[in-house]
Amino acid sequence: MAPPDSPSLAGKTVAYVEARMLSEMGALIERNGGVPYPAPVMQEVHLGATPEVKELVDDICAGKVQVMVFQTGVGTKALFDSAASQGKESETLQALAGVTVIARSPKPAAVLRRNNVHIDHMPSEPFTSADLLTAIEELDLGGKEVAVQAYGAPNSHLTQAMEKRGANVREVALYTWGLAEDVAPVLGLIDALESGQIDAIAFTSQVQ
């Protein structure tokens, strides 16, 4: 039996398909005694200033959005970048001062703080939709116009729960997910899985 302080992975090869934090994931696996096998399968595809995004920016500036939920750092930055492309970044940031701002996790919170946007509510770890709903359970949503920044896929659990509390909810996508441009690592991973070279594989998001 291995001593208590032995690395938990003990030389095992661990594949992971995370794209955004390749080095961090690799370092984490190595710190625990494993051999990292990176094979990014997905990449973010930014949608730009779609009609839905333009409408959201316009409505924020016009004071028509009363509650704004930021779910990811990437999406938060994409919204501000879209506002800037429309010449409305400053106006958008100023308008958010009159909006109830909810950050789902530290990542969107960091982007908001860099842009001097206040944060009214943020859940505790592990920052799930259920945690977010708990964090805002005292917030009156009746008749409120709520905008939710989507994180690449619809979050029906969150939007439906808010609608049940009387909110008018729209979920706006600023990016989606597509297959990685370079699929060679993924094809290599498939071969490695078939030949038994992989001891474990880590998935860090539902879309993967």
Whether residues 187 and 172 share a domain: the answer is: no
**Are 134 and 123 contacting, i.e. CB atoms less than 8 angstroms apart?**
yes
SS3 sequence of 11-66: CCEEEECCCCCHHHHHHHHHHCCCEEEECCCEEEEECCCCHHHHHHHHHHHCCCCC
In a domain, 7, yes or no: no
Q: Quick one: 55 and 142 in the same domain?
A: yes
Q: Do 61 and 151 reside in the same domain of the chain?
A: yes
| Pairwise pLDDT comparison (44 vs 73), residue with the higher score | 73
Tell me: do 118 and 26 sit in the same domain: no
Q: Name the H helices within the chain.
A: 22-31, 51-61, 73-85, 89-95, 106-114, 129-135, 156-164, 184-194
- Please compute the mean of the pLDDT values over residues 164-189 and round it to a whole number: 93
Same domain, 64 and 120: yes
Per-residue pLDDT tens digits for 1-26: 445 555 688 899 999 998 878 889 99
191 & 149 share domain: no
What domain range is 110 assigned to? 45-177
Q: Do 55 and 140 sit in the same domain of this protein?
A: yes
Count up the domains in the chain and report the number. 2
